[in-house]
Structure 1
């Protein structure tokens, strides 16, 4: 199946653009742990997080990704570890994605693509991240024509 983010760009035309299969992960099928509301942010989004925790794993093998609006044409969100209930917030909000989807991800891959502008300040493009050990790591960013982008802002705290 072709990667959905191809509609974003010729960014996929770049031979070295990350592929979901490069970040393969076995999908957890056990019962989900109750969500742990540890931080003030966790508690602020308790209703959304608890509702999401009832859903099946949809990202990175054992995570449940959920998003919500954070302004006009802006989305933020979090992932919940289905095995432990630990919450990790997305490192960026995404806006201005245009056609297609703001996030592309799979249940069997640690790769996620943020499509658009990060925190309303980065260059517009496809921003590839790997979720490794509960931490989002920036892999690369590509403009619509496939060229590498720089100037990625520091993650939100």
Structure 2
């Protein structure tokens, strides 16, 4: 390889590497999308009564039973029940419309920004749950979780200064 060809190759490699490094922050901060967490099917059957298997569920039996009469609205076969637990505070549980199993969101949510329309964003055809606000009155921001039918697993929480992309969750 001639010196001229080698220099051109190095210049191109450095330019490509520079473009890749420049793109990394945008790639790393890309918010999870509903389409990234699809469900295999949408449950169409009759809604099961919630199973009040623990003391926490029994304490909120009326709320859970009322919510269980609704059609699934989350993760293919769940009703995401949400109610107030104080000033600007909510608690939530996913009720399996097929089995009645109750899975609690492991924290309350409060203190979301005034410009946030819904402090919990979710869809029937996705396992993604987007939480806006403070969890158990600590911190704040936007937090991303995926639901696997047994628990809500945190995907990630971007730094507080990172803006939440407006409505681009498809």
TM-score by length of 1: 0.80
Aligned to 2:19: none
Bigger radius of gyration, 1 or 2?
2
Which of 135, 141, 144 aligns to 2:157? It is 141
Aligned to 1:151: none
Aligned to 2:54: 39
Aligned to 2:136: 119
Which of 96, 110, 113 aligns to 2:127? It is 110
The answer on 1:59 being equivalent to 2:105 is no
TM-score by length of 2: 0.74
Name segments (4+ residues, structure 1) moved above 2 Å: 12-16, 142-147
Does the 8 Å contact 1:13/1:146 carry over to 2?
no
Higher relative contact order (CA 8 A, sep 6+): 1
Q: Taking structure 1 as reference, are residues 45 and 21 closer, same or farther at Cα in structure 2, changes over 3 Å only? A: same
Does the 8 Å contact 1:126/1:144 carry over to 2?
no
Which of 38, 62, 65 aligns to 1:24? It is 38
Q: Taking structure 1 as reference, are residues 14 and 97 closer, same or farther at Cα in structure 2, changes over 3 Å only? A: farther
Task: Name structure 2 gaps, 5 residues minimum.
Answer: 1-25, 165-170
Task: Name structure 1 gaps, 5 residues minimum.
Answer: 1-11, 148-157
Aligned to 2:22: none
Higher helix share: 2
Q: Aligned with 1:50: secondary structure?
A: helix
Quote the Cα distance in structure 1 between the aligned partners of 2:55 and 2:162.
40
Aligned to 1:3: none
**CA-atom RMSD in angstroms:** 1.9
Aligned to 1:97: 112
TM-superposed deviation, 1:13: 9.4
Aligned to 2:91: 76
